[in-house]
Amino acid sequence: MGKNIIIIGGGIVGLSAAYFLQKQGHQVTVMDKSDIASGASFVNAGYITPSHIIPLASPGKIAQGIKWMFDSSSPFYMKPRWDIDFFKWSWYFHRSSTIQKVEKAIPIIKDINLLSRGLFEEMKASGDMGDFHLERRGLLMLYQTEAAYDHEIEVAKKARSLGLEVSELNKSELEKIEPNVKINANGAIHYECDGHTTPNELMPKLLAHLKSVGAHILTNEEVLDLLLENDKIKRITTSKGNYDADEVVMAAGSWSGKLSKKLKVKLPLQPGKGYRINVHRPLGISMPAILMERNMAVTPMKGFTRFAGTMEFSGINNVVRKERVSAIANGAKTFYPEISITDEEIADAQTGMRPVSPDGLPYIGKSGKVKNLTFATGHAMMGWSLGPATGKLVAEIINEKKTSMDISALSPDRRF
């Protein structure tokens, strides 16, 4: 018999959970404080990235963040502020940034990314969302310096040892694979295992499909409180009413930590703000790329090219910092010298909050303190890539089935 399930959060993770849960016969309600037309699931680079095997929490990251702390245009920016939760998270991040912990995280990140890549393909083949943009052209890691090459070639060797398809391209080979745009780079590492999509196309189609199969979608409805009774969530109070549920899925992205506090559950989480610029004119770019020295992404999407990047830790806010957007535009010019992003395109930039755990791994699993609560958050920059896999795992957890992969390392109760 199907359960009454409420999913808090209507991003790619929440909608993916709804997609797989409704297929199992459950009555699903998705509630979101927005109109589900903006935020991290709409401003990301659209990557499906088995190649991103190194977690954000890696050796040297904190030192880099401190170095860039007073440069608000830097790719990895930590705004100086008095915030106890941020101090604790930073300490956990530091403790997680060891070679040993990174080595343990690598196969987990690879496995969940591969699971998700396969599910994206299954979702397209199902026809549930109609046709949507999904390509498997790989990802170019473009480099201009030997230092960037030396760093990435070590990652590439690791990826290759794990069975991922990766190759090297020199300057002439790069020109052949990307012939219609001038690129100022010495070469590229080509992760052929990766794919990409257009989030602004897929999200509305996924939302429309869920409505068509009977899922309840509650927009512009903020969760205000959660009532606990006998270690279970008895009632959810929103800005518009009260709701009961058999099971609750916490997929509220960067707001998951604050909501968890209402349940007396500690979930170390910080919002990492990212930005994007869309260019709706032909640029000649056909391959997704990471501009290594600029720490930014470029994706040819359906109808436009997206330039995205930065990781800004400044709390939950929607402020678009002009200097950070300008840094993305300037970074694009550095690698694509014949492309100039206009003032109008810069002015149209948007931002989204990505939920970042201290060790770079998502929180996926049942809460040890609240019996009917399942977490699905903390994906950092891989939220889009890992959305379908997380949704599938959530459905398996709630159905008490063997999960598609070992998720013990993703426990929301893990210690740092």
pTM, to two decimals: 0.96
Per-residue pLDDT of the chain (416 residues; tens, 9 = 90+): 799 999 999 999 999 999 999 999 999 999 999 999 999 999 999 999 999 998 887 777 666 665 665 666 667 777 777 889 988 998 998 899 899 999 999 999 999 999 999 999 999 999 999 999 999 999 999 999 999 999 999 999 999 999 999 999 999 999 999 999 999 999 999 999 999 999 999 999 999 999 999 999 999 999 999 999 999 999 999 999 999 999 999 999 999 999 999 999 999 999 999 999 999 999 999 999 999 999 999 999 999 999 998 888 888 888 888 998 999 999 999 999 999 999 999 999 999 999 999 999 999 999 999 999 999 999 999 999 999 999 999 999 999 999 999 999 999 999 99
**Where do the domains of the chain lie, and which CATH numbers do they carry?**
4-410 (3.50.50.60)
**Helix/strand/coil (H, E, C) string of the chain?**
CCCEEEEECCCHHHHHHHHHHHHCCCEEEEECCCCCCCCHHHHCCCEECCCCCCCCCCCCHHHHHHHCCCCCCCCEEECCCCCHHHHHHHHHHHHHCCHHHHHHHHHHHHHHHHHHHHHHHHHHHHCCCCCCCEECCCEEEEECCHHHHHHHHHHHHHHHHCCCCEEEEEHHHHHHHCCCCCCCCCEEEEECCCEEECHHHHHHHHHHHHHHCCCEEECCCCEEEEEEECCEEEEEEECCCEECCCEEEECCHHHHHHHHHCCCCCCCCEEEEEEEEEECCCCCCCCCEEEHHHCEEEEEECCEEEEEEEEEECCCCCCCCHHHHHHHHHHHHHHCCCCCCCHHHHHCCEEEEEEECCCCCCEEEECCCCCCEEEEECEHHHHHHHHHHHHHHHHHHHCCCCCCCCCHHHCCCCCC
